[in-house]
Structure 1
Amino acid sequence: MTTVDSRGVPLEDYMLDDGSSYVKLPTVPLPAGSEILVGDEAWRAAMDLAKSRAERPVIAVDVYPGGDVDSLIARIQSALPGIEIIDVEDAAGATPEAIEALIARNLTSDRVFGVMSHFELDEFYDVDRRDALRERIGERTGPVVLVGWGADLAADRDADVLVLVDMARWEIQQRQRAGAGNWRAGNGDLDILRKYKRGFFVEWRTADRHKRDMFERVDFVVDGNAAPEGAGAVLGDDFRGALAAATTGPFRVVPFFDPGVWGGQWMKSTLDLDPTPQNYAWCFDCVPEENSLLLEAGGRVVEVPAMDLVLSQPRALLGERTFARFGAEFPIRFDFLDTMGGGNLSLQVHPLTDYIRDTFGMSYTQDESYYMLDAGDDAVVYLGVRNDVDPEEMVAALRAATDGEHPFDAEKYINTYPARKHDHFAIPAGTVHCSGANSMVLEISATPYIFTFKLWDWGRVGLDGIPRPVHLDHGVKNIQWDRDADWVDRNLVGQVEEIRRESGLVEERTGLHELEFIETRRHWFDQSAAHDTEGTVNVLNLVEGDEVEVVSPTDAFPPYTVHYAETFIVPAAVGPYVVRRTPNSRSERFATVKAYVRGTRTTDD
């Protein structure tokens, strides 16, 4: 009999299969003895616990914005017939109009960009209605279940049992694409980019601040990504134990894949993806704010946001110095950009730190780099402006191109460089760039997510048929015109420096530019390569070779298998570790690319 998870996925889909392929559903083990409850059994267990603590208990079911509150209430009613259930959002939430007025300045009129907010959840509740709800709760004659985003606040943070229904942002985006709206907004038919903007700049920031306060108190965590009738739940102690244990060894987040207008075919074939979509443009393989973790026990899984680990274990995960610099943010992003058999990315530029802070309220910007996992014979990278380019002439040509009738002659103004497998191009903010067609890029970058200013998109529309937004005014203010061919040649292309060489091992610095805060190292090896986190988080990808394992020289964690193109995280708390070939490895040579934050290692003193 096949064992399945709470969503009907066979458990073997989560396991390392034959030791040779990309694992699309990696798991993180729950502590020994943990049990995942599914559907009604979770709600009955919550009520049993509540009744053991109080005669007329209050259960607060706090739901991350984007969760299906109506379906949750129906599920709880089925599991606990006769129990009073209150939708706290309807009972005490501010009107949609009041919320809209409150957040208008943060949303702006722009389709994509807003301003980072610092709201607390109680600002989205009507004070009088909230107080009336609390009075109603105080007068209860039996058990009551409060459901919705803010249930913990409605219970005055004093519920007898606290349940967190958590969701990954990627799942929220899928629901929004299918017609779901933002929290109490009634905007299901709104442009998806505007719905994402409201989540990114307002709702998710507020929600993360709110749930971070609950982590140490929560009694149950429920998988809000799954349908309520089959959603898994885990005890709060087991949830906390799994996150703490995750910082003691290497792990992977759950990658997600998405099509795009320029998408290619490399990931579909090489990573054995569903062949149905026309292409795959993106894969986010290490973006904890977007990705999730699968917590596994006894043949079942609970999916939680990977950001929960960052928020609850920042020092052990990031390291003291990285945490001191960035707070509970994961500053390094690894993702794939597939244009093999596809088209060029948009010609773009990222904002300078001063600009992104003053304009959008972000504390750091998207410095990045392109590492070529693979490339066709005609692959190129567009990088920097050509020598002696006339800025006014180029800007005028870009503006003319916005009418869709005067294509921008990119090669006239932008340098092109041949791209070969294992080339690494540094791209500090302010540098005009894009990857051309027939490239498979491992993008290594900082993590402000959406702050890409498109300058020219080759006259395309999005998959939704709507012209993709071009932010020329923002972009022009950030182009560094002195980054011409001469400067790019000296600073961004072919910047490989050998650090050490010994029998069967070569370590190289492959970038990035001195203006960027990420350091990257490539290790070529035949048998093994020794590493040490030195007190800061490491992010690695196996860019050459079929299979390796990550081991502890002191057996501090069990061997962890990694396959070609898989990105994995080694928490700062791990210290020394070794990447080595496995008995199943068939490759003769291996290589990893490792990234970490400069100036945060113990040897940087």
Structure 2
Amino acid sequence: MRSDQPNYDVDPTILQPPGTPVWVADEAWRELARAAARLDRAVVVVDCYPGVDEQAVKASLERVFDVVVSVPDEAARPTEEIDALVAANLGDDRVFGYITQFNVADLYDEARLAELRRRVHERTGPIVLMGWGARLAAPDADVLVLADMPRWEHQLRMRAGMPNWRCKNGDEDILRKYKRSFFVEWRMADRHKQPLLDALDYLLDTTISADEARLITGDTFRSALDAAITRPFRFVPYFDPGVWGGHWMQEVLGLPGDVPNYAWGFDCVPEENSLALDIDGVRVEMPSQNLVLRKPIELMGPGTFARFGADFPIRFDFLDTFGGGNLSLQVHPLTGYIQEKFGMKYTQDESYYLLDVGDDGGVYLGRKPGADFDEMFDELEKAQRGEGSFPDERFINRFNARKHDHVLIPAGTVHCSTRNTMVLEISATSYIFTFKMWDWDRVGLDGKPRPVHLDHARANVQWDRDTDWVTSNLINRIDVLEQGDGYRIERTGLHELEYIETVRHWFSVPTLRDTQSTVHVLNLVEGRAAVVESPTGAFEPYEVHYAETFIVPAHVGEYTIRPADGAGECATLTAHVRGTEFPRSVSGEDLRFSGRSAS
């Protein structure tokens, strides 16, 4: 492990101009009252994202408004009807469902909404309509507020006992609550939220609590997103323990040590990460998905947007097994399978970039020659029934690994990393579509067996990927693209079956890059710190630190990266969507991966 003093920033923020208005705690609620008071018979809508504590928000509003109406209480369909509506999306599986095509309006009784609209029209004074879907009751509200919630915070609240929306399932298995959120509620919520982003008058952050709410104007919200796509930035990472988790991130990144381990670190998962604004020292948090939904072309580029829509397709995360255990033996679904069975547009192709490797660290990848498919699944089923351990050495290859190895894992490939590895996982953003085949006779941190999906795995394992094939196609396929005095540029993957391209730059001098109108996701995989700069001064110099993932929006175009003072040689790994570049020439040179001196 590295022994440098940790400088990884666990809470990156985006600095806003001095004097930007922000209201905190009671003053936030009073500002909403003042906004209503400036209008005659004002209708205020506070639309809430799932995970917002609606009762706490309602109680805070009632301190400053005489009439506060919960739109879900007044007009939502009964829970039993909602359950019946989405039953096909949820199914019986503990983990997997099917992406819903329903909208928030489908959760409401239109006759009761119409009655509520009539009451609002006949009111004699200000009124507040609040709750998820509140805007349905007042599409032309005088004051529109979005009470937003990052999905990671929502997950933490569900773990602590929060039920799904309008449900009485607070004590239910967290995987089932997450499933309902992932396949149903969050999908509806983002469709409902997207048109609000250009119309909202205020954004309300209750991530800490309603008592510590932070309020900014809609103009501040939009200008912050407008500025974000003009410069490099980072999402707010989050970390989580796991049954196989390790301790590398605690030691090297300086994470708090009051947890049993850290298994995962999520540094670029826009649907679940946050963006944090720094407004004169006040931290305002929002889902980073807001940037994807509102500025998708500027962020991702026209080519990536044309392929994926407002869906950020690249994920960077950490898998830490130093001092821990092997990941579960697993496989990811093929594209046709994930579309048919789960309603997802693309599958979870991925790769493992080895940031660090300890004693005997390695990867399991592909099958051994002569292994029999049916026999392997017979043994897996016996292990699942508790009739002995799975004899992995008979069926699955195990390769030793070294720091900076890059292992490519197209969907359908049996794989996992071993203990004593620190993996930077670069993958498509499909999140939860891992079919566990064997979990090394373990149970989860909750004491329950971790879900294994052998039927799904059987339908997706690509049996032709044997030792020779994975050695030739998936391990360290390094091509040197360009090198010169102080730099070397290498293509490291991904496999031709995958849509993500990755390029590694080694540099001890400033190097010039170009997004070519497609988003770049980077991680500083070697070196204490590096500085990202604009050749034209379009943005302030931006310092990144070892193991930090950062985004360079497509809108940025040219940018340079150099080692920070005294940092020595550095390396970045850059991912982008293959085939979405828009080439352009500078002095007749294609600068897509140029490493020439930027002086």
User: Normalising by structure 2, what TM-score?
Assistant: 0.96
Residue in 2 aligned with 1:123?
106
Indicate yes or no: 2:33 matched with 1:47.
yes
Tell whether the 8 Å contact from 1:36 to 1:301 is kept in structure 2 after alignment: no
Q: Deviations over 1:407-438 (max 9, x none)?
A: 10112100011111000000000000000000
Distance apart, 1:273 and its partner CA: 1.0
Residue in 1 aligned with 2:520?
538
Q: Which residue among 52, 59, 75 is the counterpart of 1:67?
A: 52
Tell whether the 8 Å contact from 1:31 to 1:242 is kept in structure 2 after alignment: no
Q: Deviations over 1:276-318 (max 9, x none)?
A: 1010000000000010000111110110000000000000000
Distance apart, 1:75 and its partner CA: 1.1
Q: Which residue among 596, 599, 602 is the counterpart of 2:576?
A: 596
Q: Deviations over 1:98-133 (max 9, x none)?
A: 000000000011100000111111100011211111
d(CA) in 2 for partners of 1:237, 1:259: 38
Distance apart, 1:48 and its partner CA: 1.9
Q: Please give the residue correspondences for 1:432-451 in structure 2 after superposition, counting only pairs within 5 Å.
A: 432-451=414-433
Q: Please give the residue correspondences for 1:312-391 in structure 2 after superposition, counting only pairs within 5 Å.
A: 312-391=294-373
Amino acid at match of 1:447: T
Distance apart, 1:137 and its partner CA: 1.1
Q: Please give the residue correspondences for 1:407-446 in structure 2 after superposition, counting only pairs within 5 Å.
A: 407-446=389-428
Amino acid at match of 1:243: L
Indicate yes or no: 2:290 matched with 1:308.
yes
d(CA) in 1 for partners of 2:190, 2:380: 39
Distance apart, 1:31 and its partner CA: 4.4
Residue in 2 aligned with 1:158?
140
Tell whether the 8 Å contact from 1:536 to 1:596 is kept in structure 2 after alignment: yes
d(CA) in 1 for partners of 2:439, 2:6: 38
Residue in 1 aligned with 2:236?
254
Residue in 2 aligned with 1:14?
none
Distance apart, 1:527 and its partner CA: 2.2
Amino acid at match of 2:234: R
Residue in 2 aligned with 1:4?
none
Moved more, 40-49 or 591-600: 40-49
Indicate yes or no: 2:464 matched with 1:482.
yes
Q: Which residue among 131, 155, 176 is the counterpart of 1:148?
A: 131
Moved more, 223-232 or 95-104: 223-232
Tell whether the 8 Å contact from 1:30 to 1:239 is kept in structure 2 after alignment: no
Amino acid at match of 1:548: A
Q: Deviations over 1:500-529 (max 9, x none)?
A: 011000000011110000000000011222
Moved more, 527-536 or 28-37: 28-37
Residue in 2 aligned with 1:402?
384
Tell whether the 8 Å contact from 2:6 to 2:254 is kept in structure 1 after alignment: no
Moved more, 26-35 or 393-402: 26-35
Tell whether the 8 Å contact from 1:20 to 1:547 is kept in structure 2 after alignment: no
d(CA) in 1 for partners of 2:271, 2:456: 25
Tell whether the 8 Å contact from 2:230 to 2:553 is kept in structure 1 after alignment: yes
d(CA) in 1 for partners of 2:197, 2:428: 27
SS of 1:73's equivalent in the other structure is helix
Residue in 1 aligned with 2:597?
none
Residue in 1 aligned with 2:93?
110
Indicate yes or no: 2:114 matched with 1:134.
no
SS of 2:47's equivalent in the other structure is strand
Indicate yes or no: 2:548 matched with 1:562.
no
Residue in 2 aligned with 1:101?
84
Q: Deviations over 1:481-515 (max 9, x none)?
A: 00000110110012111000110000000111100
Amino acid at match of 2:68: I
SS of 1:603's equivalent in the other structure is coil
Q: Which residue among 487, 491, 503 is the counterpart of 1:521?
A: 503
Tell whether the 8 Å contact from 1:119 to 1:206 is kept in structure 2 after alignment: yes
Distance apart, 1:19 and its partner CA: 10
SS of 1:50's equivalent in the other structure is helix
Q: CA RMSD in A?
A: 1.3
Indicate yes or no: 2:229 matched with 1:233.
no
d(CA) in 2 for partners of 1:574, 1:125: 43
SS of 1:495's equivalent in the other structure is coil
Distance apart, 1:32 and its partner CA: 4.8
Amino acid at match of 1:600: T
d(CA) in 2 for partners of 1:344, 1:201: 29
Distance apart, 1:51 and its partner CA: 2.8
Distance apart, 1:158 and its partner CA: 0.7
d(CA) in 1 for partners of 2:371, 2:34: 72
d(CA) in 1 for partners of 2:5, 2:402: 28
d(CA) in 1 for partners of 2:519, 2:330: 29
Distance apart, 1:163 and its partner CA: 0.4
Number of matched residues? 582
d(CA) in 2 for partners of 1:404, 1:285: 36
Q: Deviations over 1:163-204 (max 9, x none)?
A: 000000000000000011100011101100000000000000
d(CA) in 2 for partners of 1:31, 1:514: 44
d(CA) in 2 for partners of 1:292, 1:535: 24
Residue in 2 aligned with 1:282?
264
Tell whether the 8 Å contact from 2:161 to 2:170 is kept in structure 1 after alignment: yes
Distance apart, 1:377 and its partner CA: 2.6
d(CA) in 2 for partners of 1:515, 1:528: 33
Q: Which residue among 207, 219, 242 is the counterpart of 2:201?
A: 219
Consecutive unaligned residues in structure 1, runs of 5 or more: 1-17
Distance apart, 1:234 and its partner CA: 0.5
SS of 1:213's equivalent in the other structure is helix
Residue in 1 aligned with 2:21?
35
Residue in 2 aligned with 1:10?
none
Residue in 1 aligned with 2:61?
76
Indicate yes or no: 2:445 matched with 1:460.
no
- Change beyond 3 A, Cα 1:188–1:413: same
Distance apart, 1:226 and its partner CA: 1.7
Q: Deviations over 1:216-242 (max 9, x none)?
A: 110000113121111111100000000
Tell whether the 8 Å contact from 1:19 to 1:547 is kept in structure 2 after alignment: no
Consecutive unaligned residues in structure 2, runs of 5 or more: 585-589, 591-599
Distance apart, 1:20 and its partner CA: 6.2
Residue in 2 aligned with 1:178?
160
Misfit runs of 4+, over 4 Å: none
Amino acid at match of 2:538: A
SS of 2:363's equivalent in the other structure is strand
